Amino acid sequence: MHIPQKTLNDGHRIPYIGLGTYQIRGGQGIDHVLAAIQDGYRLLDTSTNYDSEGIVGEAIRRSGIPRADFTVTSKLPGKYHHYDDALMSIQESLCRMGLDYFDLYLIHWPLPKRDLYVEAWKALITAQKLGLIRSIGVSNFEPEHLDRLNKETGVMPAVNQIEVHPAWIQESMLQANKDRNIVTEAWSPLGRGSKVLQDSAIQKIAAKYHKNTGQVILRWHVERGIVPIPKSSNLLHQRTNLAIFDFKLTSNEIEAINALSQSNGRINNQDPNEYEEFD
């Protein structure tokens, strides 16, 4: 399966689709990630918060595929935004995964009320210089957070992973990332398996291309320049979610999906300016 790649502002390249691993855990989880790898997934998204770093590392080893072929992403939890804590957490995550570097490492949430994300960013810059991380990025950052990182460190993130799906299309945040030469990754790209997968407008488009609604939604992300990271533990879903590079949506079809956006479309009402991670 050929998966196109997207070039980041630091010159590194990442696959145009990845596997999300939120709620994939334990021994069964290893099998689910391994199956995805065998189907062709090479971008794997985990986080310290997901308790899945260990099983993702194990699935990579069991696959027998060279480490260098993968783009492994993890994320810094909010409780470790202090500089020394962040460096410790990155090293601990690498040990849990059994890896000696991350391809991509993100600050999971900005937590602006705690106001430590610049300190965390400085730790990511140091970890990159130490060779522990190839590309550094953020998640759930708003334009003012991105600009503050750049102003205080001179380093703009390579990636901003944000909530995007047909009910929450994020036009202005996509533009904000683009203006700063930041690649957008979409979390919950399928709306976390919500009713959008049964939407009649998307079903109509899917029928035209002999695809399923999940494939149409994932293709919609790609057409918008976004790297989606759908989670699936289901073999058929994993496989069909990858098969999105052999058709193209028209601009009218993209607009029809954009029109499904809702003013209260966020999945869990997770506003990055308000959201607090659990400690």
Ligand X SMILES: O=C(O)C(=O)[C@@H](O)[C@H](O)C(=O)CO
Enumerate the known binding-site residues for substrate: 108
Token readout for 198 is: 């049964």
Total interface residues for ligand X by CB under 6 A: 4
Does residue 3 contact residue 16 with C-beta atoms inside 8 Å? yes
Phi then psi dihedrals of residue 187, to 5 deg: -95, 155
Interaction site with ligand NDP (CB under 6 A):
20-22, 45, 108, 139-140, 161, 187-193, 197, 214, 229-234, 237, 240-241
By beta-carbon proximity to ligand NDP, the closer residue of 48 and 128 is: 48
Instruction: Tell which residue, 230, 190, 221, has the closest CA to residue 21.
Output: 230
Measured CA to CA, the distance from residue 55 to residue 61 in angstroms comes to: 10
Q: How far is the CB of 148 from ligand X (least distance, A)?
A: 21
By beta-carbon proximity to ligand X, the closer residue of 212 and 232 is: 232
Residue selected from 5, 22, 118, 119 as contacting ligand X according to rule CB under 6 A: 22
Which does residue 268 touch among ligand NDP, ligand X, none (CB within 5 to 8 A, set by kind)?
A: ligand X
DSSP H helical segments within the chain, as ranges? 26-39, 53-63, 83-97, 117-129, 143-153, 171-179, 200-209, 213-223, 235-242, 251-258
Which does residue 190 touch among ligand X, ligand NDP, none (CB within 5 to 8 A, set by kind)?
A: ligand NDP
Q: How far is the CB of 75 from ligand NDP (least distance, A)?
A: 6
Interface positions, 246-275, toward ligand X (CB under 6 A)? 268, 270
Which does residue 198 touch among ligand X, ligand NDP, none (CB within 5 to 8 A, set by kind)?
A: none
Instruction: Tell which residue, 150, 224, 136, has the closest CA to residue 180.
Output: 150
With CB atoms as reference, the residue minimizing the distance to ligand NDP is 20
Interface positions, 45-84, toward ligand X (CB under 6 A)? 47
Token readout for 258 is: 């954009």
Catalytic residue among 41, 50, 80, 117: 50
By beta-carbon proximity to ligand NDP, the closer residue of 89 and 161 is: 161
HSE at residue 239, side-chain half, CA atoms within 13 A, is 6
Task: List binding-site positions.
Answer: 108
Identify the three-state secondary structure at position 111.
coil
Encoded amino acid at 42, one letter = R
By beta-carbon proximity to ligand NDP, the closer residue of 108 and 148 is: 108
Measured CA angle at 273 (ends 270, 279), to 5 deg: 70
By beta-carbon proximity to ligand NDP, the closer residue of 106 and 131 is: 106
Q: How far is the CB of 251 from ligand X (least distance, A)?
A: 31
Measured CA to CA, the distance from residue 103 to residue 129 in angstroms comes to: 13
Helices and strands per DSSP (H, E), number in the chain: 10, 10
41 is catalytic: no
Which does residue 134 touch among ligand NDP, ligand X, none (CB within 5 to 8 A, set by kind)?
A: none
Annotated active-site positions, please? 50
Interacting residues toward ligand X by CB under 6 A: 22, 47, 268, 270
